[in-house]
Amino acid sequence: MAQNIKILPGATVCEDCTLEGDITIGGGTVVHPRVTIIAEGGPIIIAEYCIIEEYSTIIHKKSDKQENPPKPLFIGAHNVFEVGCKLESPFGHIGESNVFECKSYVGVDVKIGSGCVIGAACQLTVPQSLPDNTVIWGSEHHNREALEKQPSQLLQLDFLSKVMPNYHRLRKPNLHKRQPSRPSQEGAKV
């Protein structure tokens, strides 16, 4: 698999994590140690101000119905991936301000809007699309619609990006020019 990891300035990416394939990590995003991001089916683009916590896994799965060139998996801004969550999505788009709580699982063919919360240990395996502000929780997968998006974690991000460098080796940002967060911008590489 071709390694092509692009880390934008302002992103905090720990060295001790598995990044494979064509991955772009936006500015302000914090990637904790032991995170696995695998772009085997196509590029993964993570926008700004996301938090990806320990042991979470994001996989862009290979699939038979893939377009050529493969469509990137675009993860919007302000998403929070809590400890041990898993996202396996071969297609499309994850909105912004979503929260994937601890040990949650989002399978193939699940479309996620914005402001959604996948509760701790909730498993989404059936093809479906979650409208904006859907909250799923509990072992019985109760769901409700929140009135507004989840509050942003800017304070937490600020803290993490200050503290992380003191305790972990970080990957250096390798893109110096700020990009608009758009898929497939190969040219801006320095």
Partner 1 sequence: MAYLTQPDFVRYVCSCGQLKPITNLYFCRHCLKIRCGFCICHEVDSHYCANCLENMPSSEARLKKNRCSSCFDCPSCFHTLSTRATFAQTRQDPAAGDAKVENKQAKKMYYLSCFNCRWTSRDVGIPDQPVASGGWPERPNPFSARINQLLDYYKAIAQQEKQEKLDRERKKFAIRGKYITLTDKTGLTGAMARNIAGLPSSESSSSAIANFVPSVASAEVEELPEDYHLREINLKQVTTMAQRLASPEWQPASVARLHPVARPLSVKRSQRCRACDHNLTKPEYNPGSIKFKIELLAFYHMPEVKIISHESVKPGQQSALLLKVSNPTSHEMALRLLPPDHQAETETDETTETHEKNEPKSIEKSLEKSLNLEKDTTWSKVIERKPQMPALSQICIPEVTLTLAQRDDAAEYDDDPQHDTSDIILWRKSNKLALRLKVSTDPSAEVGQPAQVALSLQYSYRNTVPPSAQSAQHRDHTLTTTVLLDLGTVCE
Binding site for partner 1 (CB under 8 A): 117, 119, 135, 137-138, 142-148, 150
CB 31 within 8 A of CB 13: yes
Q: Which residues pair with 25 in a beta bridge?
A: 7, 46
Quick one: DSSP state of residue 160? H
Query: Nearer to partner 1 by C-beta: 152 or 181?
Result: 152
Query: Nearer to partner 1 by C-beta: 83 or 108?
Result: 83
Query: Nearer to partner 1 by C-beta: 147 or 190?
Result: 147
| Nearest distance, CB of residue 145 and partner 1, angstroms | 5
Contacts of 91 (CB under 8 A, 6+ apart): 63, 71, 73, 109
Complete DSSP assignment for 17-58: SEEEEEEEE-TT-EE-TT-EEEEEEEEEEE-SS-EE-TT-EE
| Nearest distance, CB of residue 119 and partner 1, angstroms | 7
| Nearest distance, CB of residue 147 and partner 1, angstroms | 4
Query: Nearer to partner 1 by C-beta: 90 or 115?
Result: 115
Q: Rounded to an integer, what distance in angstroms lies between the CA atom of residue 181 and that of residue 65?
A: 26
| Nearest distance, CB of residue 137 and partner 1, angstroms | 5
